[in-house]
Structure 1
Amino acid sequence: MNSFALKLLALITMIIDHVGAIFYPQYPVLRIIGRLAFPIYAYLLAEGYAHTKNLKSYGLRLLAFALISEIPFDYAFFGKLELTHQNIFFTLFLGLLAIWFIDTQNPKNMAVAFIGVILAIMASEYLHTDYGTLGILYIISFHMLKNTQGMEKLLLMTFLLAVLNFLLSGGLQNYSVLAAVFISLHDGTPGPRNKVLQYAFYAAYPVHLLVLFLLKGTGV
């Protein structure tokens, strides 16, 4: 399974999750399916970090879409501008900073790396970003397991997701361990890619939230 296929799977399961959260909360199966999305996105972020040729551009792109997505996110889930909860792009941006701190400071200065990670986690909690601490730790875990393959990759990722879910979340989030199966099938190849596809995947987040908000407004 290449990166394009993983992105498509993450996108589809995310949309299913959001449809369930906004329109059909009485059907938890939609939210269970949606638990696949974020671990895959977290993994793809770690992969993107490992392969990007311009980390600054990558980070700024995440931050830009975090700002672009905030109004559609707020209106889709809260029906108004709501500054007490921030969208997933903020979590991804902070996760990128966390693994950058780990790579640039460790082992030269583990204390600085640790402080950088703690600051990223604190920022996620202060801003109330989607997944918060759990999301940052997902990203760090996938980054630390970047050199694992096959069954080892599947077992370690399943174990880490299960432990993090147990300690920090529980409930439906426990189903996110299923994402490890699809992640372990990643063959390391990018699949189809160009600038149009790249930005289409980014734009799909705010666009689908805007569509869901408009549908909610019509009473569908």
Structure 2
Amino acid sequence: MQIIAMLTMLIDHIGVIFYPEESFLRILGRLSFPLYAFALVRGYYHTSNMPRYLLRLAILAAVSQLPYQWALLDDGVNVVAALLVCLLALLSLDRFKHPAAVLGTIAGAALLLELLQFDYGYYGLALVLIYRYTRGEWQLLLHLLLNVAVAVEKGWAIQMFSLLSTATLLYTPQLYRSLDKVRVPRLLWLSFYPAHLIALGLVREIMLAAG
């Protein structure tokens, strides 16, 4: 899963930076975020040290912010920071069970993600909650409804292709289990997001300087 997540994110950002008119690259890139959201939920379940997990995400989000803005020419907040907000929301939801607290946590996190222009906004939070609290075909159905909502509200029709990730997670988990036998070094997994943005940004600047 890590390999596919990294490769599809790389393809997506190549499309954003070098081939913005090429929809095929962006379509392949739609597979990436659901895999990262699912990995976050899996990490939430299985981490043995939550404070260290939070700290690792916070450091990675901080390190990635300038490369994100520079390489993608985006004034918003990077996706790692968005996943950090989602993780904090999960912790709050499991700690405070009162309906008012649950609704307040979800609404507050969604509002924060939208107002500060975090990558994916409330969409990212909603997808993380779907993976955390639903199973089986409910995940696919709710992901579909979420994609319909953002297609109408944000014009993100291309996000429909992200359903392929949820479908493969649901119906062909053996694909990811077989790929996960190839162990991605932790340093590569953690550093890939800012490192690939820096590399792509440098390539763009070199190409611009060369005329």
TM-score normalised by structure 2 residue count: 0.88
CA shift for structure 1 position 121: 1.2
How many angstroms apart in 2 are the aligned matches of 1:68 and 1:55?
20
Match of 1:131 in 2: 120
Question: Cα deviations across residues 51-74 of structure 1 (Å, max 9, x unaligned)?
Answer: 111111111111111100011111
How many angstroms apart in 2 are the aligned matches of 1:117 and 1:191?
35
How many angstroms apart in 2 are the aligned matches of 1:36 and 1:156?
19
Please list, as runs of the form range in 1=range in 2, the aligned pairs for 1:157-176 lying within 5 A after superposition. Answer: 157-169=139-151, 170-176=156-162
Is the CA contact (8 Å cut-off) linking 2:86 and 2:109 kept in structure 1?
yes
CA shift for structure 1 position 87: 0.5
Q: Say which of 46, 49, 53 aligns to 2:44.
A: 49
CA shift for structure 1 position 192: 5.8
Paired-residue identity, %: 31
Question: Cα deviations across residues 4-38 of structure 1 (Å, max 9, x unaligned)?
Answer: xx111111000000001110112100000000000
1:156 aligns with 2:138: yes
Is the CA contact (8 Å cut-off) linking 1:76 and 1:212 kept in structure 2?
yes
Match of 1:219 in 2: 207
Match of 1:3 in 2: none
**Worse-matched range after superposition: 164-173 or 17-26:** 164-173
**Aligned residue type for 1:209:** L
Residue ranges of structure 2 left out of the alignment (5+ in a row): none
CA shift for structure 1 position 156: 2.2
Q: What secondary structure sits across from 1:219 in the alignment?
A: helix
Is the CA contact (8 Å cut-off) linking 1:35 and 1:173 kept in structure 2?
yes
Is the CA contact (8 Å cut-off) linking 2:150 and 2:157 kept in structure 1?
no
How many angstroms apart in 2 are the aligned matches of 1:158 and 1:33?
18
Q: Is the alpha carbon distance of 1:191 and 1:51 closer, same or farther for their aligned partners in structure 2, counting shifts above 3 Å?
A: farther
Q: Say which of 49, 54, 58 aligns to 1:59.
A: 54
**Aligned residue type for 1:158:** L
How many angstroms apart in 1 are the aligned matches of 2:187 and 2:129?
24
**Worse-matched range after superposition: 155-164 or 44-53:** 155-164
Match of 1:90 in 2: 81
How many angstroms apart in 1 are the aligned matches of 2:101 and 2:33?
28
Match of 1:186 in 2: 173
CA shift for structure 1 position 158: 2.0
How many angstroms apart in 1 are the aligned matches of 2:55 and 2:107?
21
Q: What secondary structure sits across from 2:119 in the alignment?
A: coil
How many angstroms apart in 2 are the aligned matches of 1:191 and 1:115?
40
**Worse-matched range after superposition: 87-96 or 156-165:** 156-165
CA shift for structure 1 position 191: 4.4
**Aligned residue type for 2:166:** A
Question: Cα deviations across residues 104-162 of structure 1 (Å, max 9, x unaligned)?
Answer: 122xx2221221222211211122111000001000110012xx3xxxx2x32221111
Match of 1:101 in 2: 92
Is the CA contact (8 Å cut-off) linking 1:161 and 1:177 kept in structure 2?
yes
